Structure 1
């Protein structure tokens, strides 16, 4: 359940690679391709860019999906981001969607996937500033990556990210099964050993703690959380926000649960945040 969630199924009627869509009166081309991560696993990517561009460097938002999600989550952002002069890149984490890989680690190894994406974008010579937009697992990945790569990120939108994995385990065990926290700790110790063997060293108790990375993050950040989220409670974003090291940080809350689509006005505010920090 932790490291091998079901892969998000893809519809059979997806637009072909190189298809063109219009947003804000301009044509944008959607490219679908793969890049390799550090382990040589193929990561399935999509990239929206203007069909015609003058050659100037442009900012890009890199969207990162949640656990059991995929890069298609980013499609709902295209009508909002692209007309603002911000290109959109999304990818399936290794072990998710159409990417290779056996395991998901909720942000730990996913940092290396993100690093491969940013290295690719910077190699193009057409990208100016990069913003990270993470949902759930993607938000945790963003925090843990940014803590060690301040110079590669210019802004972050962190939607429903968790502060620590053990807090989620305690909450779910208590609310759904009535298991006391001390017994959860006992169970997690055994589970952690098994997961470490399968994933090459991940300690789910010690390593999956974005809140411990947050103080080292200095880039502007906007924290977002659904008020009806009963999976990753709002207190997780509150803890991450409080610990976050950057002076330019803000938080907003909206209606909806953990996996619900965000209201239009919320998306517009999130995009406005990105525009402020990526196009200035």
Structure 2
């Protein structure tokens, strides 16, 4: 039974990635002279305290993308998209799933309760930062599964699902076949014990984790972008292909170079950015967002003014430095000419 314990641990209790909040970077950053404020906060879901960060910018609309990380990762995974999304006019929210990073929780549930936590996060964002015009979910692996399991939520318009699986049981069976080879028939024997153990410890059923049953929603207002690595050995790209084929809303799929953990290429990220901006919002100014975030916008404007003053001061210092160099150069040239003239006079004497 020790084998089942180890297998169970890989699923519901992978290594927790801890980190220092200093790695989140500066509280204020600038993208093309537009100030972005990062607000760290804590929200509660299922009586667990979960840690999150929201990158706020002043905008007519309140578009919010929530990045959902892998099962053995944390919110730092989503930091790489801050500049790209802010340049597209989208606020980014990153957070640690329960049992991950700095959040409370003992187990992960491969999307089962994570989807509940995302709903609570959306409620919190609207309460604290103002009504959201459009929610977007971008998830990878377990995060992608979590996103797809929320396909019925009317507040969400766009789903970026990178390396999602169709059913958790299927992935477990496939990994078992890779491990046991010709002895893969053993999987059917230990599967009931593994399922029972996970139910007892983490309170979820692996047979109920099935994004495939969730993507069949048909809606003109929903968009799905499926993504997978061609050489992914952990979650075979056929899972994304099956999800794509069963999806009944507007959809796209891309099989890109790399495996399960490969950093996606710039070209792929550019396609995703364009996909996110397919929906043209024509709603009026979001007064609720502007009102609740006014303090962040004022702080951002002060930071921008300070930033511009620093730039101006640096430019003035640089100009003065250049002038001093020019003076020294002219003086040095004059002194050299004087020495040359003196030498010439001595020679003529």
Q: Same fold (TM over 0.5)?
A: yes
With over 3 angstroms needed to count, the CA separation of the structure-2 counterparts of 1:179 and 1:143, relative to structure 1, is farther
Mapped partners of 2:218, 2:75: distance in 1:
25
Which residues in structure 2 correspond to 1:204-243 (within 5 Å)? 204=206, 206-216=207-217, 218=219, 219-243=222-246
The answer as to 2:177 corresponding to 1:171 is no
Alignment match, 1:274 = 276
With over 3 angstroms needed to count, the CA separation of the structure-2 counterparts of 1:91 and 1:179, relative to structure 1, is farther
Alignment match, 1:14 = 23
Mapped partners of 1:146, 1:138: distance in 2:
13
Alignment match, 1:128 = 133
Local SS of the residue matching 1:45? strand
Moved more, 122-131 or 107-116: 122-131
Alignment match, 1:146 = 151
Corresponding residue to 2:160 among 157, 160, 164: 157
The number of aligned residues is: 270
- Residue 74 of structure 1 deviates from its aligned partner by 0.8
Alignment match, 1:260 = 262
With over 3 angstroms needed to count, the CA separation of the structure-2 counterparts of 1:122 and 1:29, relative to structure 1, is same
- Residue 203 of structure 1 deviates from its aligned partner by 1.2
Whether the 8 Å CA contact 2:166–2:242 is kept in 1: the answer is yes
Whether the 8 Å CA contact 2:230–2:255 is kept in 1: the answer is yes
Q: TM-score, normalised by structure 1?
A: 0.91
The answer as to 2:121 corresponding to 1:117 is yes
- Name the Cα RMSD after superposition: 1.8
Local SS of the residue matching 2:19? coil
The answer as to 2:18 corresponding to 1:3 is no
Local SS of the residue matching 1:161? coil
With over 3 angstroms needed to count, the CA separation of the structure-2 counterparts of 1:217 and 1:48, relative to structure 1, is farther
Mapped partners of 2:11, 2:38: distance in 1:
32
- Residue 217 of structure 1 deviates from its aligned partner by 5.9
The answer as to 2:37 corresponding to 1:32 is no
Local SS of the residue matching 2:133? strand
The answer as to 2:50 corresponding to 1:48 is no
Whether the 8 Å CA contact 1:71–1:90 is kept in 2: the answer is yes
Q: Answer 1 or 2: which has greater helix percent.
A: 2
Show structure 2 runs of 5+ residues with no match.
1-9, 283-349
Mapped partners of 1:99, 1:12: distance in 2:
12
Whether the 8 Å CA contact 2:138–2:161 is kept in 1: the answer is yes
Q: TM-score, normalised by structure 2?
A: 0.73
Whether the 8 Å CA contact 2:229–2:257 is kept in 1: the answer is yes
Alignment match, 1:244 = 247
Show structure 1 runs of 5+ residues with no match.
none
Structure with max Cα Rg: 2
With over 3 angstroms needed to count, the CA separation of the structure-2 counterparts of 1:33 and 1:188, relative to structure 1, is same
With over 3 angstroms needed to count, the CA separation of the structure-2 counterparts of 1:278 and 1:195, relative to structure 1, is farther
The C-alpha deviation readout for 1:93-149, integer Å capped at 9, x for no partner, is 1111111111101001111111111111222324211111011101111111223x2
Whether the 8 Å CA contact 1:57–1:125 is kept in 2: the answer is no
Whether the 8 Å CA contact 1:60–1:88 is kept in 2: the answer is yes
